[in-house]
Chain A
Amino acid sequence: MKRISDHPILGEPEKGQLVSFFMDGKPMEGFAGEPIAVALKAAGVMVHRYTHKAHEPRGIFCAIGRCTDCVMIVDGVPNIRTCITPLVSGMRVQTQDGVTALEVSE
C-alpha cells in the first residue's frame, strides 16, 4: 500500500472525495484536491514524461513545483506541473513526450 492509512504523529491523512480520472485513457482513482502526482503515485505511475531529445523518463523530483520534472498534459494542456496541480474529477492526464502526448497503444 502506497498511501499511509494511519500515521503515528499525524493520524489519518485528511483527504477529499474519491473521484475518477483518466491516465493515458485508462480510468484511475484519486482524491479530489490532492496533487495529480500524488494520485498517480498511489496508482503506481512513476513516469510522467519523456525528455524531448534523449527520450529519458522523468518523474516526481522536488514535489514543490520547482524542477518541472513532473510536467504532463492535463486536459490537453502540456507542461502542467502535476505535483502542485490539484486533481479534479474526470481530468484527462497524459504522459508527455517532449512537448506532445505520448502515443499509447490501446
Chain B
Amino acid sequence: MKRYDLIVVGAGPAGLSAAIEAARCGMKVAVFDENAKPGGQLFKQIHKFFGSKEHQAKIRGYKIGETLLAEADEAGVEVFLNATVAGIYLDKEVLVQIGEAMTHFKADTIIISTGAAENMVTFDGWTLPGVIGAGAAQTMMNLHGIKPGQRVLMLGSGNVGLVVSFQLMQAGCEVVALVDAAPRIGGYGVHAAKIARCGVPFYLSHTITKADGTDCVTGVTIAEFDEHFAPIPGTQKHFDVDTICLAVGLSPMSQLLKMAGCTMVDDPKRGGQVPLVSENGETSIPGLFAAGDVSGIEEASSAMIGGRMSGLAAAAYLGFLSESDKEKRLADLEVALNSLHQGMFAPGSKGKTVAKTDEGIAVSQSLLKKGYLEDTDLERFVHRSNQTDKNSGIHPVIECTQNIPCNPCQDACTKGCIKVGKTITALPQIDDASSCTGCGMCIAACSGQAIFLVDEDYAPGFASITLPYEFLPLPQKGEQGTALSRSGQPLGIAEIIDVRNAKAFDHTPLVTIKVPAGQAMTARFYQPTTQAMEQ
C-alpha cells in the first residue's frame, strides 16, 4: 500500500492550497480528485474575483487555478485525477477508485476538501431535459464552449445565480428573467446591477410553478407567493424558454467526514451538515482536517486561506513545522481571513436584513428588489468630485453601495483618486484632491463593474461615459446604438467615440459613448443596433 505524510481529497482551491503549504514544509503529499482536470470550481469562473491583493482580487478565477496548479507542481505535490475517494477508514486509510481499479492509500494526516454539491428544488416538470443546475451551465459554456440554451430563466439570485446569468449573456444566450422566492436579492448588488442594466428583469417573492414541455423544456410559468407559500392568483407570468437554470444554493459534501466518524453539526449558516472543526480546520479526529466549502459554504478566497491553514496545521501535527512557526503563520492567515468576514455579506450576517451601511447610509431598496440603483439613491452614494484634471473634465463615478470585501479599485488608481482604506469592506470614496487622467484602470480592475468615467462637458450639449463592456461583438468607434439606463431601458441614441482594449485591462474592454448631457448620470450601458432589432 502506498504511503504519504498527507492525503488531500479534492483538488479545488482549498485542497490545492493545503497541499502546497504542506509540501513546502517537506511533507510527501498526494491529492485525489474525481475530475479529469484539477482546480474544482475555479476553472468555471471566468470573472474577476473580489477581495484585496492578498486574496488575488481582480484576477479571474481560472487564472488563480492555473497559478495554484503550477505552485503545487513546483512544490512536488502528486495529483491523481479521475480518482474518486470512495471510503475512508480508521488509521487514515483511504479507498480510491482510479478508473475501474480500487486502490488503498495510507497517510498520517488527511485533509478533506471535497467542496459542495448543488441544491435542487422541485416543481411540476422539473425533471425535463432543459432544467439544469447553474454549475452545469458554467461547465458547458466555460469548459466545453457550448451554450446551455438560447433562452434561459434563472432561479436563484445569490452570487452564483447572478454570476452565472452574466456569464450566460457573455456566451451569447438570452436571460429572460431572474427569479427568487426571497423578497430580496441574495447576492452582491454590483453583480445584480450588471445584469439589470442589460435589461434582465428580477422577480422577487416569485418561484417556478411549472415547466412546460413533453420531451424537453419549451416554457416556464412563475408566480408570486404569499407568506404561506401559496401562489397568489393572477400573478402568473409565462416565458418561452428552452432552459431553466437552478442556482438555489450549495450543500457541503461532507459524507466522507461522517464516514470517518467525525463529530458533525447541523449548521444552516454554514450550509448544512458540517464537521465540528477548530479554527485551523482540525476535526474531532486528531490529524484529520476539513477545509473549504465542505466545512461551510463560503467562497474561493476563504477556501484558499482555510486550505493553507489546515496544510500548516497538518505539517505541525507531524512535526514538519515548529509550533511557534505554525502559530506565527496561522496568525497572519487569520488576519487575511477576518478581512473577508466583514461587511453586509459576512457569514454571521446571513439571513439578516441590513438597513444601513457601515457608514450609516440607508441601503438602496431598489438595488435589493430590482437590481439597480434608483436615481433618488444616487445623491446618497455617488460622490462627484468637482476637481478634475486641467485638460479634461473626466472623473470616476463609483456605484458600489454595499459593504463587500473588495478594494482593487483603490490599488488600480495610481493618482490616488479612489480610497477604500484599511477595512476592505468600506465603501470606496473619491478623493477630491486628486485629479483623474481618465486612464480607465479603475474600471478594468473593478470586479463588480461598478465604476464609470463621466465627462459632463465632453462637447456642447453632450456628455461622455466610459463603461466596461465584456461582450461580443465589440462595438466600433463611430458606430451608433442605444444608450440604456441602469434598469436597461432605452434612453436614446449613443455614439461610440472610443474603444480601448489594453492588455492591462485583462479582457475588460472600455467603451466610451457620447450621449445628450442630460443622460450623464443615467446612461450606463450600450446596446448595439443589431441586437435591438433581433429582440
A interface residues (Cβ-Cβ under 8 A, vs B): 2-4, 6-10, 13, 15, 34-35, 38, 41-42, 46-48, 56-66, 69, 84
Given known contacts A7-B170, A34-B144, A57-B216, what 10 new A-B pairs fall within 8 Å (CB)?
A7-B145, A38-B144, A38-B146, A46-B216, A47-B216, A57-B129, A58-B127, A62-B132, A64-B136, A66-B117
Query: Which of chain B's residues have a CB closer than 8 A to the CB of A57?
Result: 128-129, 214-216
Query: Which of chain A's residues have a CB closer than 8 A to the CB of B171?
Result: 4, 7
Q: Considering the complex, give the chain B residue whose CB is closest to the CB of A11.
A: B507
Task: Determine how close the nearest CB of chain B comes to the CB of A84; give it in whole angstroms.
Answer: 7
Contact A62 B170 (CB under 8 A): no
Contact A62 B133 (CB under 8 A): yes
Contact B144 A60 (CB under 8 A): no
Query: Which of chain B's residues have a CB closer than 8 A to the CB of A56?
Result: 127
Query: Which of chain A's residues have a CB closer than 8 A to the CB of B140?
Result: 38, 41, 60, 63
Contact A4 B117 (CB under 8 A): no
Task: Determine how close the nearest CB of chain B comes to the CB of A36; give it in whole angstroms.
Answer: 11
Contact A47 B146 (CB under 8 A): no
Contact A64 B127 (CB under 8 A): no
Count of inter-chain pairs, beta carbons less than 8 A: 88
Q: 8 Å CB contacts to A: which residues of B134-176?
A: 135-136, 139-142, 144-147, 170-172
Contact B170 A8 (CB under 8 A): yes
* Alpha-carbon separation in the docked complex, A63 to B351 (Å): 30
Q: Considering the complex, give the chain B residue whose CB is closest to the CB of A51.
A: B127
- Chain B interface size range: 35 or more
Task: Determine how close the nearest CB of chain A comes to the CB of B437; give it in whole angstroms.
Answer: 26
* Alpha-carbon separation in the docked complex, A13 to B35 (Å): 20
Query: Which of chain B's residues have a CB closer than 8 A to the CB of A35?
Result: 144
Query: Which of chain A's residues have a CB closer than 8 A to the CB of B34?
Result: 65
User: 20 pairs across A/B with beta carbons < 8 Å?
Assistant: A3-B145, A3-B146, A4-B141, A4-B145, A9-B170, A9-B470, A38-B140, A41-B140, A46-B215, A46-B216, A59-B129, A59-B130, A60-B129, A63-B132, A63-B133, A64-B135, A64-B136, A64-B139, A65-B34, A66-B117
Query: Which of chain A's residues have a CB closer than 8 A to the CB of B36?
Result: 84
Query: Which of chain A's residues have a CB closer than 8 A to the CB of B129?
Result: 46-48, 57-60
B60 CB within 8 Å of chain A: yes
* Alpha-carbon separation in the docked complex, A34 to B139 (Å): 12
From A4, A48, A64, A65, give the contact of B147 (CB < 8 A).
A4
Which 10 pairs of residues, A with B, have the shortest CB-CB distance? A59-B129, A13-B145, A63-B136, A46-B216, A63-B139, A46-B129, A38-B144, A9-B46, A4-B145, A8-B472
From A2, A7, A63, A84, give the contact of B135 (CB < 8 A).
A63
Q: 8 Å CB contacts to A: which residues of B294-325?
A: none
Q: A41-B140, A57-B215 are in contact. Are A7 and B472 (CB under 8 A)?
A: yes
Q: Considering the complex, give the chain A residue whose CB is closest to the CB of B469.
A: A8
Q: A34-B144, A42-B146, A66-B117 are in contact. Are A60 and B132 (CB under 8 A)?
A: yes
Task: Determine how close the nearest CB of chain B comes to the CB of A81; give it in whole angstroms.
Answer: 12
B118 CB within 8 Å of chain A: yes
Contact B147 A3 (CB under 8 A): yes
Task: Determine how close the nearest CB of chain A comes to the CB of B100; give it in whole angstroms.
Answer: 12
